[in-house]
Structure 1
């Protein structure tokens, strides 16, 4: 079983995504910002491509952390990721 990691480091997140062919995207919601996603492969219809600057502005404004996995349990490169609330104590 592969361990997941959590980070708030912008460079680490960007490197992880780009190493897997991922691009920053949002799903627009009412109001400012949107729901962050890393888009892989063919862009999905509801995803709106954004620049990394906007992506990380939304990331920080919403006090998020990036939960991700480097490899699958079988040792292959993993694309597993999700955005979670930052730990208030860490």
Structure 2
């Protein structure tokens, strides 16, 4: 079973209970810059013994919670987490459209109000792109 977290304190508690930290990365987006969000777990092991080396995810930087939440809300995102205490990877989560949380809570958001979550393609290949005249 999964649940969607939108409340700042719930997200922070869920993340910190798993030794997690917020991370951000600014990336070029046509005419401006887009901020990508991530959560990292086990960061204390990377930074142990005065090792302030790079994060596991190249380009991401540890961020403070206020900046991370601002980016989360600006992108209209929430996180879906497992609430199954029986095992599995308890650090698993995914970003989802905040509107999805409203629909799952029974607030009746219409399909027209849906907004997809930010999706990043690593190293896109030209064969993966649609032809300009494709529908």
TM bin, normalised by shorter chain, reads 0.7 to 0.9
Q: Which structure has the larger Rg?
A: 2
CA distance in structure 2 between the partners assigned to 1:29 and 1:75 by the alignment: 35
Normalising by the residue count of structure 2, what TM-score does the alignment of the two structures yield? 0.56
Which of 14, 17, 27 is the aligned partner of 1:16? 14
Once superposed, which parts of structure 1, at least 4 consecutive aligned residues long, lie more than 6 Å away?
none
* Greater relative CO, 1 or 2 (CA 8 Å, sep 6+): 1
Normalising by the residue count of structure 1, what TM-score does the alignment of the two structures yield? 0.81
1:18-70 deviations in Å (ceiling 9; x for gaps): 00000000132124451111111233232211100000000111111111113
Which of 24, 27, 41 is the aligned partner of 1:29? 27
CA contact (8 A) 2:6 2:101 kept: no
CA distance in structure 2 between the partners assigned to 1:65 and 1:89 by the alignment: 7
* Corresponding residue pairs, total: 87
CA contact (8 A) 1:39 1:47 kept: no
SS of 2:69's equivalent in the other structure is helix
CA contact (8 A) 1:71 1:77 kept: no
Residues 1:85 and 2:85 aligned together: no
Deviation of the 1:83 alpha carbon: 1.0
CA distance in structure 1 between the partners assigned to 2:15 and 2:33 by the alignment: 24
Q: Which runs of 5+ in 2 are unaligned?
A: 47-54, 103-135
Task: Decide which structure has greater strand share.
Answer: 1
Tell me how large the CA RMSD over aligned residues is.
2.2
